[in-house]
Amino acid sequence: MLVQNSLSEVLRAREELFSKTNWTDPTSQLQNRVKGEELARYFLLTESEILGIQNTIRLLVSTTPYYLSLSDPSDPNCPIRRMIVPTSDESIFSEEESPDPLEEERLSPVRGLTHMYPNRVLLFSNHSCSVYCRHCMRGRKVSSSDERMEKADLENAFDYIRKHPEVDDVVVSGGDPLNLADSRLEWILKELNEIPNVKICRLGTRNPVTLPFRITNEICKVIERFNDDNLSIFCNTQFNHPRECTKEAKDAILRLLRVGVSVGNQAVLLKGINDDEEIMLDLHKKLLEMRVRAYYLYDPELIPGSRGFRTPLARGIEIVEYMRGKIGGMGIPHFVNDLPGGGGKITIGANWYLGYHPKTRQHAFRSAVTKRIHFSFEPVGSNRESYYPIISDSEWEKFQNQ
């Protein structure tokens, strides 16, 4: 049974945790992770959070002291806290939810490998993360020791890639591949580097956000060694809120950049955390200052216990629409839905293009800056007019009057 402490006791416990952790040592951070019911020592938990910790149907609960330090112990609406502490929503398996909505297991020819796109595969390299984010879309596997990838499993995955020369792009994900030992990551990158058809490797890691001290000079040297003419290595991470954009996180990003690894951000749209235009704009401005380019903004997956995080589809469209004209294009993410059933990602954008008026041979657009209607001509002799949505004469008159 969870015992609720007073605020003074919570603050004292936090101070003790932080002082006993060798702060910049990633091993010490992992050794001192806060798990499950231990959260009661470091937060003034609500009834919903107590129920969530006790009854979650999702992955294990765990956070590094560093990431815990970014959270508010007394505010249940703190965005960092919402990503650390389960609520009662996590105990409900809704009818529309699925443990594997993307059908990754159906698309897995060998253990730990998903082949959804013709030329790309996802390698599930590791079941462990520094922080088990409550919105994790791979909760059926992450944090479960049963999903540990042994060396033989990885060798089978490499054999599959070798036998499929159409595969030229490998996403190394998990879990978090940077939670692997340096030697294991070095072996994985060496194997990929030596497969002739593999030209791109993308490391999917949240450690720059949750454990930036893991991005050591040593691990960067490993990555640099295999980031060569044979293999181009990229990194995609996941900052979801401006509060995560710390000096420590920026230092980690800069270490990756110095060894030639560009970093993109894949945020997840989360109800009550970042489903706000100004928060999302502030986040991506801070990311550009950290030299991180926007990549994706994900519509949340239909995973068990996720109802507390899901937003209407319109929210993502509205947010991206709001950002256009207020930040450079490299700071605006593509809003994407990873289609249930293994349909892959599709981009969903604001409706800037309004259609085509055949009589005047003009296209109509809505400006993100002026909000007015602007016009542009189709080339003379074009044979693509049937491609465009047609603007009726009455609609055209309305546009002209605007």
Find out whether 235 is annotated in a ligand binding site.
no
Distance from C-alpha of 238 to C-alpha of 207, rounded to nearest angstrom: 9
Q: Are strands 169-174 and 120-126 parallel, antiparallel or unpaired?
A: parallel
According to DSSP, the residues that pair with 170 across neighbouring strands are 121, 201
Distance from C-alpha of 52 to C-alpha of 57, rounded to nearest angstrom: 9
Residue 63, C-beta contacts closer than 8 angstroms, at least 6 positions apart: 33, 34, 84, 131, 132, 210
Other residues' Cβ atoms within 10 Å of the Cβ of residue 47: 10
**Backbone torsions φ then ψ of 363, nearest 5 degrees:** -95, 150
Burial 367-401 (b: 16+ CB within 10 A, else e): ebeeeeeeeeebeeeeeeeeeeeebeeeebeebee
Amino acid at 331: G
**Backbone torsions φ then ψ of 174, nearest 5 degrees:** 180, -135
Find out whether 133 is annotated in a ligand binding site.
yes
Burial 140-157 (b: 16+ CB within 10 A, else e): bbbbeeebebeeebbebb
Residues within the annotated binding site for [4Fe-4S] cluster?
129, 133, 136
Residues annotated within the binding site are 129, 133, 136
